[in-house]
């Protein structure tokens, strides 16, 4: 593999500056310089990608197509430099041209084409898929505006547009010769000519899908894959006929309609969005993708009969479900296959990953919307639903009580998860617990019908980004203890660190690394916000999307409890703490926004109270995103993973913390269960109800008011919430939800039921922290046993259990 030197990179960068920006180095701004560096790496990857593509064609290799409405990529300059093995020469090249490499890396905007865990997972998987030499393509939408930027004004969230493309498009290569067209609306008719049946679709609107390809380099391999982002364009620049008739607005309107499809990412996390524009996004994305795969397949093989042998389409949650009817449409209407043959191909091509069991997140689309927007797709869904229903009715001998919940169309809605379960050859959950709940509960009857379809692939994270790149000192220590850099391709090698669990000098070194990372993070926060963090205190961190089920409010209640006791007794807290929060709330999610306001009200009160000085501090970090997480994970000591058991499908934040040596305080939910399995009771602070206990209490009737009446600590905290803090804002609404639920059912997240055991676990963590040796040892064991949570392991599982593709021998 060619090793680029500083000199070569200097030449390439200065060449870019001259040819693309018409500037010499001394006239270039930081912006020019960033773009030039990005384009130089892009060119290197682009050439290797062509070689990769040739090889795939030559060998007729089976390919993976990973479809996701979200890819939360974050920054790419460091990632690509790292994977290409040019971090050092690139830094030197930048410095020798008179720029600060650190500033340049820091100037890159995050590509925020996702909301949270689901989108970040897709990004980590692209890295591992490519590193493992799997021929694969990711597909998504080239949103002009990614996840909003969050500002906190007077304690409350304000959303700002995230216009990332100004700089971010340096990574994108438009492929104008691979444009696809997507049809919406219109009328479909059956046509019979000479005994031949065909479908005539008329009166539709056309939208162009322009591919903008992002190159994905693997680590220590020449293999390069692509993330294909579809940009929506109107087929006519502006309708000139309307224009000349003086219908200026109408002409512009049409264009704006088409282009609105890729305008913005929907900012709801773990929640369905029922807007027509969202359905348009889904079909636009899926139709362009399937057409693009089919076009290349036809060119290579001249037939689609072997399509399922050469491709697997993995769909990330139900958002891309329409690939199923869309591929059917192409096989039926364009290839002229019969239903059974088309169905065979589709049902051996598509595999589905489920990400949630929460009712409010399960997608269903009103049939009126589907039929008017996608008339042909609607006909195909009806036929799939009818055949499935017949099959199920036979299987369950007419027991409609069991058939009805599995129906694809019911009560005027299309249920996307049921369509996936019917048509996909594999259905996987994302942690052992979650996959179990799918089988035992949510999709039990589907599991009974087709048990072999159901699999588990526990999520994982890109340990190169989330350990080696973001925590270089820890990376160095691991290389010294675990046989050099081999852990970067063999994450299991992290376990060699365990040999040093009683080695005082290694534990001391680990402790110093954490301390230095805390100092670095504190100086970043000081620079950004002016807030001075107490670096002598334990950094207790909860960063993730704001959601009731994630229970940021439980964390807040406990902080209020600490504060009330500290006011009564200044010696109450033996371990000083800094509570750090970071979370975006969906703009329409009022309760979530109230909780953000509450955190800020509480923070203002606590941070201004002299009794808390050097003991208790609360900070809400604005605009939590990938690049902030990369700075924060290495500095974290206690990881808050406190969702109501049974609600968090996996979590991946939990893994990032663990890998960086934070100890977890958490419930037995999602992948925490598997973390506990490798750590044992003694290296994690577990608390709270188990998933089955949550169900049992729900069935018996959860009575939060009894906890309030019986437990004085809970009562005091709840009363304080009603009263509010120094700013005079009352959080009565939250109090009511905790005590009385939403009016029709008691609080389904059961905060009061878990409060007491959470308090005890917090106390245990604080006391353990005082035993520095013990704490450092826990930290070391967390890192040493985190190897199973590397995305490389997840991708090997997918490759073996679902995709049937070979991976690089390492």
Ligand X SMILES: *Cc1c(COP(=O)(O)O)cnc(C)c1O
DSSP bridge pairs for 230 = 141, 211
Q: DSSP label at 406?
A: G
Q: For strand 538-543 and strand 409-410, is the pairing parallel, antiparallel, or unpaired?
A: unpaired
> Residue 348 or 593: which CB sits closer to ligand X?
593
120 near ligand X (CB under 6 A): yes
Q: Which of residues 403-422 bind ligand X (CB under 6 A)?
A: none
Q: How far apart are CA 103 and CA 89, in angstroms?
A: 16
Among the listed ranges 174-182, 219-227, 358-366, 645-653, the one in contact with ligand X (CB under 6 A) is 645-653
Question: Of the listed 272, 280, 355, 785, which one is catalytic?
Answer: 355
355 binds ligand X (CB under 6 A): no
Can 703 be counted among the known catalytic residues? Answer: no
Applying CB under 6 A, among 626, 675, 721, 799 the residue interacting with ligand X is: 626
Q: Least distance (Å) from ligand X to the CB of residue 467?
A: 13
Q: Which residue is nearest to ligand X (CB)?
A: 653
Please calculate the CA angle 63-66-67 and round it to the nearest 5 degrees: 135
Q: How far apart are CA 325 and CA 348, in angstroms?
A: 14
Whichever of 116 and 429 has its CB closer to ligand X, that residue is: 116
Distance CA 417, CA 434 (A): 15
8 A C-beta contact, residue 718 and residue 733: no
- Binding test (CB under 6 A) with ligand X, winner from 653, 661, 666, 787: 653
DSSP bridge pairs for 454: 427
Query: Nearer to ligand X by C-beta: 137 or 459?
Result: 459
550 is catalytic: yes
* Residue 450 is among the residues annotated as catalytic for this protein: no
Rounded distance between C-alpha atoms, residue 324 and residue 374, angstroms: 13
Applying CB under 6 A, among 130, 137, 600, 652 the residue interacting with ligand X is: 652
434 binds ligand X (CB under 6 A): no
* 656 catalytically annotated: yes
Q: How far apart are CA 283 and CA 323, in angstroms?
A: 8
C-alpha closest to that of 344 among 356, 327, 359? 327
Could you tell me the smallest distance in angstroms from the CB atom of residue 790 to ligand X? 14
CB of 629 to ligand X, least distance (A): 4
Query: What is the nearest approach in angstroms of ligand X to the Cβ of residue 626?
Result: 5
Residue 754 CB burial class (10 angstroms; 0-12, 13-18, ≥19): buried
Q: Is residue 177 packed enough to be buried (19+ CB in 10 Å), middle (13-18) or exposed (0-12)?
A: exposed
Q: Which stretch binds ligand X (CB under 6 A): 90-98, 113-121, 277-285, 481-489?
A: 113-121
670 to 729, contacts with ligand X by CB under 6 A? Answer: none
Segment interacting with ligand X, rule: CB under 6 A, options 22-30, 622-630, 759-767, 771-779: 622-630
Whether 344 is catalytic: no
- Count the site residues for ligand X by CB under 6 A: 13
116 touches ligand X by CB under 6 A: yes
How would DSSP label each residue in 736-750? Answer: HHHHHTTSSS--TT-
Q: Position of tokens 């680990």?
A: 510
**How many angstroms from the chain centroid is the CA of residue 566?**
38
The residue to which tokens 């269903």 are assigned: 364
Using the rule CB under 6 A, give the single segment among 115-123, 207-215, 504-512, 673-681 that binds ligand X: 115-123
10 forms part of the interface with ligand X (CB under 6 A): no
Query: In the Cβ-directed half-sphere of 648, how many Cα atoms lie within 13 Å?
Result: 31
Catalytic residue check, 808: no
Catalytic residue among 120, 310, 319, 544: 544
| DSSP letter (8 states) at residue 264 | B
460 lines the binding site for ligand X (CB under 6 A): no
Residue pointed to by tokens 């039929």: 371
146 part of the interface to ligand X, by CB under 6 A: no
Question: Applying CB under 6 A, which part among 116-124, 162-170, 256-264, 789-797 lies near ligand X?
Answer: 116-124
Interacting residue with ligand X among 544, 551, 577, 759 (CB under 6 A): 544
* Residue 804: C-alpha distances to residues 134, 345, 567, 800 (Å): 11, 16, 61, 5
| Shortest distance, position 642 Cβ to ligand X, whole Å | 10
Distance, CA of 692 to CA of 194 (rounded, Å): 62
Smaller CB separation from ligand X, 258 or 628: 628
* 652/782 with CB nearer ligand X: 652
Residues 646, 322: Cα–Cα separation, whole Å: 28
In whole angstroms, give the CA distance from residue 250 to residue 252.
Answer: 5
Pick from 168, 651, 661, 704: which binds ligand X (CB under 6 A)? 651
Q: What is the DSSP letter of 662?
A: P
Catalytic residue among 319, 514, 656, 785: 656
Separation of first and last alpha carbons in the chain: 17
CB-count exposure of residue 222 (10 Å: 0-12, 13-18, 19+): middle
Q: Nearest distance from residue 195's CB to ligand X, in Å?
A: 57
Q: Which of 117, 138, 325, 634 is close enough to bind ligand X by CB under 6 A?
A: 117
Among 329, 625, 647, 785, interactor with ligand X by CB under 6 A = 625
Binding site for ligand X (CB under 6 A): 116-117, 120, 544-545, 624-626, 629, 651-653, 656
* Residues labelled as active-site residues: 355, 544-545, 550, 652, 656
């Amino acid at each position: 593999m060619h090793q680029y030197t500083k000199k070569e990179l200097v030449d390439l960068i200065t060449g870019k500056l001259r040819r693309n920006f018409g500037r010499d180095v001394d006239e270039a701004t930081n912006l020019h310089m960033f773009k030039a560096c990005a384009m130089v790496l892009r060119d290197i990857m682009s050439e290797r990608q062509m070689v990769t593509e040739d090889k795939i064609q030559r060998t007729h290799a089976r390919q993976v197509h990973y479809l996701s409405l979200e890819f939360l990529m974050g920054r790419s300059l460091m990632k690509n430099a790292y994977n290409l093995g040019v971090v050092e020469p690139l830094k030197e090249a930048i410095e020798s041209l008179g720029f600060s490499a650190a500033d340049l890396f820091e100037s890159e905007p995050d590509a925020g084409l996702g909301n949270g865990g689901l989108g970040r997972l897709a990004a980590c998987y692209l890295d591992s898929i490519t590193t493992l030499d799997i021929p694969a393509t990711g597909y998504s939408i080239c949103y002009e505006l990614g996840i909003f930027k969050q500002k906190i004004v007077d304690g409350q969230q304000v959303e700002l547009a995230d216009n990332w493309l100004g700089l971010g498009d340096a990574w994108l290569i438009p492929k104008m010769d691979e444009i696809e067209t997507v049809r919406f609306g219109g009328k479909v008719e059956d046509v019979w000519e000479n005994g031949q049946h065909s479908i005539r679709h008329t009166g539709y609107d056309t939208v162009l899908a322009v591919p903008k390809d992002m190159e994905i380099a693997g680590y220590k391999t020449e293999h390069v894959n692509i993330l294909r982002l579809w940009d929506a364009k109107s087929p006519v620049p502006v309708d000139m006929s309307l224009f000349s008739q003086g219908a200026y607005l109408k002409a512009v309107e049409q264009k704006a309609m088409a282009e609105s499809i890729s305008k913005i990412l929907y900012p709801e996390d773990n929640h369905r969005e029922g807007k027509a524009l969202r359905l348009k996004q889904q079909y636009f994305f899926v139709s362009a993708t399937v057409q693009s795969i089919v076009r290349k397949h036809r060119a290579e093989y001249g037939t689609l009969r072997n399509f399922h042998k050469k491709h697997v389409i993995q769909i990330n949650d139900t958002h891309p479900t329409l690939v199923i009817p869309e591929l059917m449409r192409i096989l039926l209407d364009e290839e002229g296959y019969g239903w059974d043959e088309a169905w065979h191909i589709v049902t051996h091509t598509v595999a589905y990953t489920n990400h949630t069991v929460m009712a409010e997140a399960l997608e269903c689309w009103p049939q009126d919307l589907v039929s008017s927007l996608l008339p042909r797709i609607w006909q195909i869904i009806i036929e799939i639903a009818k055949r499935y229903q017949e099959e199920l009715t036979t299987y369950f001998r007419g027991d409609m009580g069991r058939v009805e919940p599995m129906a694809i169309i019911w009560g005027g809605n299309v249920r996307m998860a049921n369509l996936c379960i019917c048509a996909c050859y594999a259905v996987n959950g994302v942690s052992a617990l979650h996959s179990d709940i799918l089988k035992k509960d949510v999709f039990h009857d589907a599991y009974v019908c087709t048990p072999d379809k159901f699999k588990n692939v526990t999520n994982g994270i890109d340990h190169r980004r989330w350990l080696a790149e973001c925590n270089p000192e820890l990376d160095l220590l691991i290389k010294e203890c675990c046989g050099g850099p081999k852990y970067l391709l063999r994450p299991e090698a992290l376990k060699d660190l365990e040999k040093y669990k009683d080695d005082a000098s290694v534990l001391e070194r680990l402790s110093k690394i954490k301390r230095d990372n805390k100092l670095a993070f504190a100086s970043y926060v000081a620079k950004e916000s002016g807030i001075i963090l107490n670096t002598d205190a334990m950094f207790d961190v909860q960063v993730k999307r704001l959601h009731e089920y994630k229970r940021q409010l439980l964390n807040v209640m406990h902080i209020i409890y600490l504060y009330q006791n500290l006011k009564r007794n200044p010696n109450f807290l033996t371990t000083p703490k800094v509570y750090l929060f970071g979370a975006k709330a969906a703009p329409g999610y009022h309760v979530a926004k109230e909780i953000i306001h509450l955190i800020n009200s509480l923070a203002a009160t606590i941070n201004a109270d002299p009794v808390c000085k050097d003991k208790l501090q609360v900070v809400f970090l604005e605009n939590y995103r990938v690049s902030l997480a990369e700075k924060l994970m290495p500095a974290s000591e206690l990881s808050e993973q406190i969702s109501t058991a049974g609600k968090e499908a996996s979590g991946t934040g939990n893994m990032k913390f663990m890998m960086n040596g934070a100890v977890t305080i958490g419930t037995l939910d999602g992948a925490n269960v598997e973390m506990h399995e490798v750590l044992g009771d003694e290296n994690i602070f577990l608390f709270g109800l188990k998933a089955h206990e949550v169900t049992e209490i729900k069935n018996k009737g959860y009575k939060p008011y009894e906890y309030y009446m019986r437990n004085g600590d809970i009562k005091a905290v709840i009363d304080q919430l009603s009263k509010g803090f120094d700013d005079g804002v009352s959080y009565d609404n939250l109090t009511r939800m905790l005590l009385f639920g939403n009016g029709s059912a008691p609080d389904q997240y059961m905060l009061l039921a878990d409060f007491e055991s959470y308090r005890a676990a917090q106390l245990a963590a604080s006391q353990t922290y005082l035993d520095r040796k013990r704490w450092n040892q826990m930290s070391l064991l967390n890192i040493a046993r985190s190897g199973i949570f590397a995305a490389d392991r997840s991708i090997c599982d997918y490759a073996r259990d679902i995709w049937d593709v070979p991976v690089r021998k390492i």
